[in-house]
Structure 1
Amino acid sequence: MTVTESLPVVDAVRRALEIDEQVPADATAPDVPRRVRAVLTLTTNIACAPAQLWPLLTRPGELERWFGPVSGELIEGGRFEAPDGALGRILQVQEPHRISLTWDQGAGEDPLLIQLDPEDDGTTQLMLRHAVELEAEEFARTGPGVLALGWEIALLALAAHTDGWQATCLAPVPSPTPRWRHGAQGEQYLRAWSVRWAAEAIAAGVEEAAARQGEAETLRRHLPA
């Protein structure tokens, strides 16, 4: 994809949301909660080739410089630990284009896919797809933003580290340090992302009142106290 006009930094990522209701095996039992499967897709273009991005995603020393400390074996079949208590397994690796893994932050293993595709303009289209399954009541309360904002912050950090949005964004790309997140600009970005994910929820069929409730819960969880 060739970008022909400058974008605000908060819109350098393209977002998509799919929601499917999961019918329990014993759907007639009154105490069996309904579940939903939500697939969050974040796509952006980074101004370097897949082979240049690959080490930043697969080497612990490189990951620590922009994402945070990651320990373990980042090879096919390996297990790892990531920031905020996340655990995972590497399922499949196709260097330098595709990593399939699991992501577990205490609610079970979710499939996570990172794909790097070269573009004609020399950039890489990076797609991150995270699929989660959870109780419908919990999803209605939190919305997709609670899950998605961590990836928004990660992609912002990667873009700042690589200078990968320099040619496409209207303003300098900030590094989302803890100090930045506690500042006025950090709050502005978190609010903007929350609004955008609420809009994706509405587009995916969530009632507006529920989507706005999820937006508020996203901010409650992500804004520094």
Structure 2
Amino acid sequence: MVDIMDTLTGITRLVKTTQLNHQDATSVVLQQEVSSPAHDVWTACTEAERIRQWFLPITGDLSVGGRYALEGNASGEILECNSGRSFRVSWQMGHGPDSELEFTITPTNTDHSLVELRHTAMVDPDMMGTYGPGAVGVGWDAALLGIYQYLRGIPTGPANQLPPAVMNPFMAASSEAWAEAAIANGADPAAAREAARRTTAFYTGTDDAVTS
């Protein structure tokens, strides 16, 4: 069985200041090479039946201009699609800030692919100061873990969730990795690591605060 802690080291994490709808925004970017051909990764991330096996049940019209909904999670509109290569969607959770998700797959050879996931949001400065980019990034690390396992035939998805004893160390290590990405983007090291501590507490169920 894959050691899930090892999968974290294979992810490149970036934090970037950018624009969304002509307003200041923050992007968290994850890049990971997977040992699967691009067409297999693409269908795993765009076909409803396959998405539910590693992520969540999804409903709606999965074509450009259509709307989707992930069960108990986000919903939005399909904004762009470059079939086999990339898609971009709006990502709306409750009353959270405007955000967009962009997913890109690049073949690196016949049976390996580079996956890039970019989530851009207009985040309240107080929220960013409290939790840092890990508020979003930790969840996407877990999603990439789901893809990584699924493509290797390891049961995943809602029916096969790993227990807290396994996932809590994963969440803590992910939070720390996002603190380092924030520091690389210019964040104060002490503040970034304290934000990571709060993010870990949230994801492991010891904090009642709500992420955006």
Q: Same fold (TM over 0.5)?
A: yes
1:200-211 → structure 2 map (5 Å cutoff): 200-211=181-192
In the other structure, the counterpart of 2:209 is none
In the other structure, the counterpart of 2:202 is 221
In the other structure, the counterpart of 1:82 is 70
Displacement of 1:9? 2.0
1:120-199 → structure 2 map (5 Å cutoff): 120=109, 122-163=111-152, 175=156, 179-183=161-165, 185-199=166-180
- Percent identity at matched positions? 23
> CA offsets per residue over residues 158-203 of structure 1, 9 Å max, x none?
1101119xxxxxxxx89576752412x2111111111110011111
- Preserved contact between residue 190 and residue 222 of structure 1 (Cα < 8 Å): yes
- Preserved contact between residue 156 and residue 175 of structure 1 (Cα < 8 Å): no
The letter of the residue matching 1:17 is V
In the other structure, the counterpart of 1:28 is none
Displacement of 1:59? 1.4
Aligned residues: CA RMSD: 2.5
TM-score, normalised to structure 2's length?
0.85
What count of residue pairs does the alignment treat as equivalent?
199
* Whole-angstrom CA distance in 1 between matches of 2:98 and 2:136: 14
Displacement of 1:36? 5.3
In the other structure, the counterpart of 1:11 is 9
Q: 1:77 to 1:141 in 2, by over 3 A?
A: same
* Whole-angstrom CA distance in 2 between matches of 1:176 and 1:187: 17
The letter of the residue matching 2:205 is P
Larger Rg: 1
The letter of the residue matching 1:50 is A
Large movers: runs of 4+ above 2 Å: 19-22, 173-179
Q: 1:57 to 1:174 in 2, by over 3 A?
A: closer
Give 3-state SS (helix, strand or coil) of 2:97's partner. coil
Displacement of 1:37? 1.9
Displacement of 1:84? 3.6
Structure 1: where are the runs of 5+ without partners? Answer: 1-6, 26-34, 165-172
Displacement of 1:102? 0.8
* Whole-angstrom CA distance in 2 between matches of 1:175 and 1:62: 11
* Whole-angstrom CA distance in 1 between matches of 2:187 and 2:24: 12
TM-score, normalised to structure 1's length?
0.80
* Whole-angstrom CA distance in 1 between matches of 2:139 and 2:72: 10
Displacement of 1:224? 3.4
Of 87, 93, 96 in structure 1, the residue corresponding to residue 84 of structure 2 is: 96
- Preserved contact between residue 96 and residue 116 of structure 1 (Cα < 8 Å): yes
Give 3-state SS (helix, strand or coil) of 2:36's partner. coil
